Amino acid sequence: MADDTPTVFVLFGSTGDLAKRMVLPAFFELAHRDLLPARWRLIGNGRGQRTDDEFRDHVKDALDEFGTGTDNDTWRTFAENLRFAGGGFTADDPGALPDVIDEVRNDDDFDGDDVQLVHYIALPPATFTDYTRALGEHGLAEGSRVVYEKPFGTSQKAFEQLDAAVHEVFDEQQVYRIDHFLGKESTQNLHILRFANGMFAGLWNREHVEQVQIDVPETLDIDDRAEFYDATGAVLDMLVTHLFQVAAEVAMEPPISLGADDLQSARESVIAAFRPIDTDEVVLGQYRGYRETEGIADDSTTDTYVAARMWVDTDRWRDVPFVMRTGKMLGASAQRVTLVFRRPDDGPIKHLPANGAALTFDLSGDGAIDVTLTVKKPGPGEDLTVGHLELPLETVATSDGGGLSPYSRLLYDVLDGDRSLFTRPDGLAHVWEVAAPLLDNPPAIAPYEAGSMGPGAADDLAAPVGWFTTTS
């Protein structure tokens, strides 16, 4: 169970797409696993007017569609803890929110006790500054925690302005910038497996690793996120957020401890060593048919695909390419981090396969760890083949119900006051510096067919290994 301080969780944008798909199902998962404080309330906020019962119906529909459903004993108690505060929330007019918070603080369960306020801004980035200032204006910032969705800014200038606005109202220790890739079980195993197992710790460097791949192709289209996606694109939605943060998990130096400050410092320190992107090492694409989507302009130049090669200028990783790929409407879905190991420079065996030794972290679902090895093909002769040793993380014995979904894990950490899996402004500031050449002067966007693996030029970025799959 998280810190048992009585907690009021305010969800801004509570009737939006992000809330119904991610935040509400994650919160319900914590309730179902008995991981919420003993006394809590979730207050949904929105511009419209709804009764508490109408909001409960909305939440139930969201959980039935995107969560584990409400056909269980948890739902009745969960529903009793839901409230709604309509009328919007601005610096000039807070709507009903302050009154509803006061009602909760003074009801029989809380009885005027001090409560931990947690504000989750599940809204587009353009709203972050206004909502932050409104929280300060109406006395709801002191002692509270605030969660910001990604991207935290849409450019270096926008990041700097938002960061300044946030720190006018909040201390840094109150701020939780969420990146759900850091909440994935396999992402966390990037540092656990490395630091807990000497056989891997000794290989985690340029002497043994030829290439690092972070590969997140998607078969999905932009669904009902057209307006958000067309204003964002693959570079902002995925590259400068998720993929850069995962690269930092791979590349960081050993922290002093796995405590929040030490782990964050190790991650942010290595981001400072990321070399600014060379646009000659970037391929952007847009799938054919994207502009026919409702809400997308006929002349949209938004990228739905990006592949990039990046370099980390540390002694450990110098001259090792970090290649990253993600995009919509591709021919396969994966969330994969692979360390491709070098072939022996000398020895009696020649003509080894280029991808015959690798360590892969499958970040999707419950996650898995796969070791690729070159072995002798069974039978006469000395022919070689590639085999796999796979550890699905769902098979690891647990006594507490198994792993949490990424959003549930990160919400749990927010409730517990643990910032180790959240980003810091110093690292984010350098992320924008790394991405600046790409954002300021992007290469031409190449069209690609839906169902393909994107523009063919991206294959050159992963040479000589090629984009790795665990089924090769």
**Is 157 marked as binding a ligand?**
no
Whether 2 shows a pLDDT value over 70: the answer reads no
pLDDT at position 451: 96
More confident residue, 227 or 332: 332
**Is 86 marked as binding a ligand?**
no
Domains 7-149 and 181-461 share a fold: no
Whether 25 shows a pLDDT value over 90: the answer reads yes
pLDDT at position 404: 85
242 catalytic? Reply is yes
**Is 377 marked as binding a ligand?**
no
The CATH T-level fold of domain 7-149 is Rossmann fold (3.40.50)
Whether 13 shows a pLDDT value over 80: the answer reads yes
0.85 cut: is pTM over it?
Answer: yes
Give the tens place of pLDDT for each residue, 301-312.
999 999 999 999
Give the residue among 468, 243, 244 at the shortest CA–CA distance from 371: 468
33 to each of 29, 116, 382, 421, 443, how far by Cα in Å?
6, 21, 52, 21, 47
**Is 295 marked as binding a ligand?**
no
Give the residue among 414, 146, 443 at the shortest CA–CA distance from 278: 443
Where does the pLDDT of residue 250 fall: very low under 50, low under 70, confident under 90, or very high at 90 and above?
very high
* Mean pLDDT in residue range 241-247: 92
87 to each of 84, 91, 101, 410, how far by Cα in Å?
10, 13, 14, 29
Give the tens place of pLDDT for each residue, 231-240.
889 999 899 9
Compute the CA torsion angle 244, 389, 470, 349 (nearest 10 deg): 100
CA–CA separation, 274 vs 61, rounded Å? 44
Q: Is 242 left (phi over 0), alpha (psi -120 to 50) or beta?
A: alpha
DSSP state of 36: S
Whether 335 shows a pLDDT value over 50: the answer reads yes
Supply 260's token pair.
Answer: 């929040």
CA–CA separation, 23 vs 44, rounded Å? 11
Give the residue among 352, 378, 431 at the shortest CA–CA distance from 150: 431
Where does the pLDDT of residue 225 fall: very low under 50, low under 70, confident under 90, or very high at 90 and above?
confident
Q: How many Cβ atoms are within 10 Å of 139's Cβ, its own excluded? A: 10
CA–CA separation, 179 vs 152, rounded Å? 10
**Is 17 marked as binding a ligand?**
yes
CATH superfamily of 181-461: Dihydrodipicolinate Reductase; domain 2 (3.30.360.10)
Give the tens place of pLDDT for each residue, 158-206.
899 999 999 999 999 999 999 888 888 888 888 889 999 998 999 999 9
pLDDT at position 400: 61
* Mean pLDDT in residue range 447-461: 96
**Is 20 marked as binding a ligand?**
yes
Q: What is the DSSP string of 81-145?
A: TEEEE-S---SS--TTHHHHHHHHHTSTTTTT---EEEEEE-S-GGGHHHHHHHHHHTT--TT-E
Going from N- to C-terminal start, the domains of the chain cover 7-149, 181-461
In total, the chain counts a number of residues equal to 472
DSSP state of 433: H
End-to-end Cα distance, the chain:
42
CA triple 338-444-333, angle to 5 deg:
35
**Is 107 marked as binding a ligand?**
no
Whether 63 shows a pLDDT value over 50: the answer reads yes
pLDDT at position 35: 94
pLDDT at position 239: 93
Whether 472 shows a pLDDT value over 50: the answer reads no
* Mean pLDDT in residue range 97-107: 93
Whether 1 shows a pLDDT value over 60: the answer reads no
User: Of 242, 351, 388, 430, which one is the catalytic site residue?
Assistant: 242
Whether 346 shows a pLDDT value over 80: the answer reads no
**Is 424 marked as binding a ligand?**
no
- pLDDT above 70 covers a percentage of the chain that reads 97
- Between the ranges 25-39, 384-398, 402-416, where is the mean pLDDT highest? 25-39
**Is 168 marked as binding a ligand?**
no
Give the tens place of pLDDT for each residue, 118-141.
999 999 888 999 999 999 999 999
Q: Is 163 left (phi over 0), alpha (psi -120 to 50) or beta?
A: alpha
Whether 3 shows a pLDDT value over 80: the answer reads no
More confident residue, 455 or 367: 455
25 half-sphere exposure, CB direction, 13 A CA radius: 18
CA–CA separation, 214 vs 324, rounded Å? 5
**Is 180 marked as binding a ligand?**
yes
**Is 263 marked as binding a ligand?**
no
pLDDT at position 165: 96
